[in-house]
Chain A
Amino acid sequence: MTLPVKYLDSSIILSYQLGPTDRFYNDARRIIEDDIMKKKIIGLVSMLTLMEVIDVIRRRVTERTDKSKLDLLDTISQNLYLKGESDTKIKDLLQVLTQMEDQGLILFSDFTPVDLKQMMKDVYDYSKDYFGIAKKYYRCQICNGSFEHYTYKGLGWIDLVHAFLALGFFADGLITADKSFAHLSSDPKFGSIEITVI
């Protein structure tokens, strides 16, 4: 019997890499260590997922590196240092993912299998009729002080690109930690893929 191929959203890989402090870590770990490593499913990693994870690593390393350490360096040295730190993490990631690919545990895919022009039209068409939710917050997201406000929450266009890529790749499922994707579960257009929100 053929193993189900499931598209992995960036959040799954990132949660696993962020470790136990991440609130989705245990579920991401279950997906990677139990489902993929024990050959219950094959993970599908798109170049979009990979690009996002690499981008987050670079931003995260830059934002979380000790400021006093960077202050001692000139701009060029700062960039070289941060690039070196980021590249180490990115290499670790690619080392593991390519090992997994070699073992048939995951598959990489670029955009060749899909008609990008048509797919972006589908994403646009979906976006214009879709609206998420306005959610009320009581604290400022920057200073954490008291501040009542509403924020729009929902599927963005990149989320939809992931979903349409999963469709175009004929994936059996899409796994994400982002609960906005649950909306797609009830949409017949995405009926051929099982949306799993961990």
Chain B
Amino acid sequence: MANYSQLFEKKSEREQLPEKWAELLAFLRDSGFMAEITTQLQIRPIVKENSAEQPFSAKKLIIRNMITRQSMTLSKKLRDEYSLPEITDERVDLSLLDGSLSKYSDEKDAVELVRTLRKRS
């Protein structure tokens, strides 16, 4: 059984957690993910950190997994909103996109168009 001084030491250690971990905990608490984290990490965990190549970043891992998980929901929502048919073919039909706006193109290039839009916003 731990005595009082050992408990005190542990408490003291906790209070001296490195700042990055304190930040991480604050982030998890403030963003409301605390309850969901376990689930988040277990669902479609395609993002794995390779510690040999990159420093481990728990926050990065959590955000990446969160984006991966929400991406499917967003994609489904977009398909529903625009009444798109269910995806049955695994091939991506790029011909629908490639040059499909060419009828509406002229000397203004994509950057110019986006810049004009942003100026008007």
Contacts and interface: CB of A to CB of B under 8 A. Distances in A.
B99 A17 contact: yes
Nearest to B118: A158
Contacts of B15: none
19 contacts: A11-B111, A13-B97, A14-B113, A17-B98, A19-B100, A19-B102, A21-B105, A37-B92, A37-B94, A56-B117, A60-B113, A92-B100, A94-B79, A94-B82, A99-B91, A102-B75, A102-B90, A108-B75, A177-B109
A52 B116 CA distance: 11
Contacts of A186: none
B42 interface: no
Contacts, number: 171
Interface in A29-47: 29, 32-33, 37, 44, 47
Interface of B: 30-31, 46-50, 53, 57, 59-60, 63-64, 66-68, 70-72, 74-75, 78-79, 82, 84, 87, 89-94, 96-106, 109-111, 113-115, 117-119, 121
Interface residues of A, number: 69
Given A177-B111, A178-B114, A20 B66 contact: no
